[in-house]
Structure 1
Amino acid sequence: MNEIWIAKIPTPIFNTAEIPFNQLPLKKDAQGRLTEIETIAFPGTRFKSVRPVNDIVLQVETAEYPSSKPLYVDRRFLQKAPEDLQERIKQLPSVQEILQWMEHRVGLRYFWGGNWDVGISEILELYPHLQQANEEDQDDALCRGLDCSGLLYQATQGITPRNTSELIHFGKELSLHHLSLGQIQAELKPLDLLVWKGHVILVRSPTTLIESRIHQGVVVSDFETRYAEVIAMLKEQNKQLYFRRWHPSS
């Protein structure tokens, strides 16, 4: 039976039934990422159970994170809900509110799958052995920090797509590749996206950009300098850069 559940607290969604918090040290990839974590579901997120894996792990589906791969959660983060539970209500903040929220996170650490900036303190209660972890592993286990699309996702309360593979199609495409750098800067507005498969950068002003970068966290950078880096890197990797405008007020 496909039961309905609701997230009581911020809830990590995993792409494996093997919860990575069960072992120490945490198993990370070559770039130091816990890639088993897909995203963090906001409190109030509606889940439909697919099947119980064991007494703790549920395979689930949620409209807030459509996925072709199986998704799993620790059911202790959830509680059962009535069948007619509605999806979480979302309200898009203004451009200025979103920018201010992001600017207040400058200096915050990068975390793959992160879109709950302060982390989830309850994880230490549910997985008490993590209290013995070193500082970095504990920060990772708490899911503290933001990844590139997570910065935007949390700032918009989950209204924007969660992954760059979706963000490259989000909103309206801006055809700017034929323009000079100065013309591009003049055309772009705050919160416009510079996005490709794998990363997203947001326009902060005509001269600055804001993003969450691996190994650096949330940073503000000079538009001209960072843009030149991006163009050179994407040319080398044979990837396409997209300019997208998505906020209704832009």
Structure 2
Amino acid sequence: MMRPLPVILVMLLGWSGTAGAAPYGVARSAAPVLNSPAFSRIFGGADGRSLKTDRCGQVREMEFIALPGTVFRVRETLPGAGGAVYRVETDDYPAPAGVSLYVDSRFIELRDAQPPARSRILPPRERVIAALREAVGSPYVWGGNLREGALALFGTLYPAEASWDDRGKRRIALAGLDCSGLLYQATNGWTPRNTSQLVAYGTGVAVEGKSAREIAERLQPLDLLVWNGHVIIVLDRDTTIESRLECGRPGNGGVVRTPLRQRLAEIMRTRRPLDTWPAPGKRQGVFVVRRWYGL
């Protein structure tokens, strides 16, 4: 009998699974997508109930949570502790340079033919704003874009939900939002998932050389104050909303509202406004304003 190759050797050889393996997959449910194939080390650990986090309580290996119906191109199949792990690509989340994406096979239904893209319907403006308001108080979760998290983790990578208290259940399910995940959740996955895309999303608002007061007067609800690494959403004429990571504080941060002019003044202590996102090498200490809804 031929023994299965160790994961490291498999990766070195570029093994792509069994002959004739399906080249596509569709997320059956909300599925965590990582930048590492080590699902069993991150979810479960030695006792089957652990979650590998950093000192701020974050799973830095998580890139995003794929919504049900997300289509993946399966590029490689690796053996995992409880089943295969797929190296994938998806139009829903263009991976940053040098980053590979992985998803556990138990969250994916394989297809031989290319499936239709996930259905996207942008909610009405009022519903997007209401969803943002409803998210206030949600915890910050690195890579998080669902307030309820990925509940399918229970019964797959963890025991059934009944064995967890509410706090433990939410932590294990990665229930919470990061900055761009807050917008992604409120728009039902319509908007780009990363700030690296949001800096050029929609159309720019002319803010270069303007004061905080002048910028505030130009803003509309759902405009984005954004740079590569963080996004702040204009909630209304007087308020912004964002999800902040505040390591060391109770809860390590989360979704908060701040007066618009106050937040602009805070940003402009260290960043200057530009009309368009600059070329590589000139991106430090700047931000842009992007208008996208209704365009």
**Per-residue deviation, residues 15-74 of structure 1 (Å, max 9, x unmatched):** 000111132643323433111000011101111211111133111111111224211001
Aligned partners of 2:30 and 2:151 also within 8 Å:
no
Match of 1:57?
85
Shift of 1:181: 2.3
Question: 3-state DSSP class of the match of 1:51?
Answer: strand
Question: 3-state DSSP class of the match of 1:204?
Answer: strand
Question: 3-state DSSP class of the match of 2:269?
Answer: helix
> What TM-score, normalized to structure 2?
0.77
1:230 corresponds to which of 252, 258, 267: 267
Aligned partners of 1:60 and 1:72 also within 8 Å:
yes
Q: Which amino acid aligns with 1:140?
A: R
Flag structure 1 segments of 5+ consecutive residues without an equivalent.
Answer: none
1:177 corresponds to which of 194, 205, 208: 208
1:35 corresponds to which of 57, 60, 82: 60
Distance across 2 between alignment mates of 1:65 and 1:188: 28
1:45 aligns with 2:70: yes
2:145 corresponds to which of 115, 129, 132: 115
Aligned partners of 2:147 and 2:175 also within 8 Å:
yes
Q: Which amino acid aligns with 1:22?
A: G
Shift of 1:138: 4.6
Match of 1:26?
51
**Per-residue deviation, residues 139-182 of structure 1 (Å, max 9, x unmatched):** 33311001100011121122211111111111111121322322
State the superposition RMSD in angstroms.
2.3
Distance across 1 between alignment mates of 2:178 and 2:128: 16
Aligned partners of 1:130 and 1:138 also within 8 Å:
no
Question: 3-state DSSP class of the match of 2:264?
Answer: helix
Q: Which amino acid aligns with 2:293?
A: H
**Per-residue deviation, residues 76-125 of structure 1 (Å, max 9, x unmatched):** 01112340411112111222111011111111111110111111222121
1:242 aligns with 2:273: no
Distance across 2 between alignment mates of 1:94 and 1:80: 33
Question: 3-state DSSP class of the match of 1:128?
Answer: coil
Identity between Structure 1 and Structure 2 (%): 36
Q: Which amino acid aligns with 1:47?
A: F
1:153 corresponds to which of 184, 208, 219: 184
Distance across 1 between alignment mates of 2:160 and 2:100: 26
When structure 1 is superposed on structure 2, of 91-100 and 185-194 the one drifting more is 91-100
Q: Which amino acid aligns with 1:100?
A: A
Aligned partners of 1:130 and 1:141 also within 8 Å:
no
Distance across 2 between alignment mates of 1:160 and 1:27: 29
| Structure 1 residues 60-99: aligned runs within 5 Å | 60-67=88-95, 68=97, 69-99=99-129
The number of aligned residues is 248
2:154 corresponds to which of 124, 142, 147: 124
Question: Which one has a bigger Cα radius of gyration?
Answer: 2
Distance across 2 between alignment mates of 1:201 and 1:135: 29
Distance across 1 between alignment mates of 2:240 and 2:57: 25
Distance change >3 Å, CA 119–CA 28, structure 1 → 2 = same
1:217 aligns with 2:254: yes
Aligned partners of 2:33 and 2:63 also within 8 Å:
yes
Distance change >3 Å, CA 231–CA 29, structure 1 → 2 = farther
Q: Which amino acid aligns with 2:179?
A: C
Question: 3-state DSSP class of the match of 2:32?
Answer: strand
Match of 2:219?
188
When structure 1 is superposed on structure 2, of 144-153 and 181-190 the one drifting more is 181-190
Distance across 1 between alignment mates of 2:240 and 2:90: 32
2:130 corresponds to which of 81, 100, 104: 100
Match of 1:3?
23
Flag structure 2 segments of 5+ consecutive residues without an equivalent.
Answer: 1-20, 246-251, 273-282
Q: Which amino acid aligns with 2:107?
A: F
> What TM-score, normalized to structure 1?
0.90
